[in-house]
Amino acid sequence: MTPHRPPGLYEELVTRRLEAALDEIRGEGWRDEIESLDPAEAPGVLARFVHHLVEPLLGSLAGKNRTTRQLEIVNSLITHLKSAVDNSPVIDDEEVYILRFRLDSR
């Protein structure tokens, strides 16, 4: 038998929209328990959050240059991430090139 969990949101990042909704229900007498993001889990949690934002955005693009525009957005995002992290051990120019090659070749 699994332990009973009270109703609520679990393992959700608190965004401005969610914070506003929480403020509203707090005014109705509900209480919440918000915990800090575990540093060991943060990369995965944050990456999934970005994935859920970026995938629909890329999917919403239309037109004959759709793939090219998607690639430009992804490359821009990667470039921004690289500039935010000094000496990134993960993202290098070759990976961006491979991404471009794979997308353009389909």
- The CA-atom distances, in angstroms, between 91 and each of 8, 26, 43, 99 are 37, 42, 15, 11
52 and 20 together in one domain: yes
The number of distinct structural domains making up the chain is 2
Name the band, by pLDDT with cuts 50, 70 and 90, for residue 103: low
For the stretch 33-49, what's the b/e string if a residue is b when 16 or more beta carbons lie within 10 angstroms of its beta carbon?
eeeeeeeeeeeeeeeee
5 lies in a domain?
Answer: no
1 lies in a domain?
Answer: no
What is the rounded distance in angstroms from the CA atom of residue 68 to the CA atom of residue 70?
Answer: 5
Indicate whether 14 pLDDT > 70.
yes
Point out the domain boundary residue: 28, 45, 60: 60
56 and 14 together in one domain: yes
Indicate whether 105 pLDDT > 60.
no
75 and 104 together in one domain: yes
78 and 40 together in one domain: no
DSSP 35: -
pTM here is 0.69
Helix ranges, the chain (H): 16-26, 42-59, 66-84, 93-104
70 lies in a domain?
Answer: yes
Domain that holds residue 70: 63-106
67 and 101 together in one domain: yes
